[in-house]
Amino acid sequence: MAILNRKAHHEYYMLETFEAGIILTGPEVKSLRAGHANLTQAHCIVKNNRVILVGCHIQPYKPACRENPVDPARTRQLLLHQKEISRLMGKLNERGLTLVPLKIIFNHRNYAKLQLALARGKKLHDKRATIKERDVKRDLARDYKLR
């Protein structure tokens, strides 16, 4: 099961994507597997040569109430290679870019991975153009289906 950030593609242009590991506790992993997480308010920052996920809400796993962390929206460290982190720091400093979490997936080795993107924010007129293109594509697909 993948937890998606549906607002990300509406709010940002995705320039480059990365895949990072997440440091989690056991009950958090079980809660992610059940799909009880929210990425809509989440963002990533680079601090002290570490990439940190801020604002990701992982609902506490009910059967493991003793081991659950106190704060479900706590900051979580992401695991990236040092070369990737230094490259990201350079790009984030020199341009007006941001790191946006796209989705949380489980890879073939059953590790939780966060897909994040280097992104540039869209202006209001860009968002309107995107919505208009999507509506035109939907209408064309509907017309094609009726034929």
Distance (Å, whole) CA 28 – CA 18: 22
- The model's pLDDT over 38-78, given as tens digits with 9 standing for 90+, comes to 998 899 999 999 999 999 998 888 787 676 666 787 899 99
Helix (H) or strand (E) holding 76: strand 76-79
Residues 6 or more apart from 29 whose CB is under 8 A from it? 112
Q: Can you tell me the distance from the alpha carbon of 80 to that of 62, in angstroms, rounded to the nearest whole number?
A: 30
Residuewise pLDDT in 10s, the chain (147 residues): 688 888 888 888 899 999 999 998 888 888 889 888 999 889 999 999 999 999 999 888 878 767 666 678 789 999 999 999 999 888 888 777 889 999 999 999 989 999 999 998 888 888 888 889 889 999 999 888 877
Top-level CATH class of 3-122? mainly beta
Residue-level pLDDT at 64: 75
Query: Angle CA(22)–CA(24)–CA(30) in degrees, nearest 5?
Result: 115
Instruction: Specify the pLDDT at position 69.
Output: 63
Short-list 63, 68, 76, 102, CA closest to 24: 76
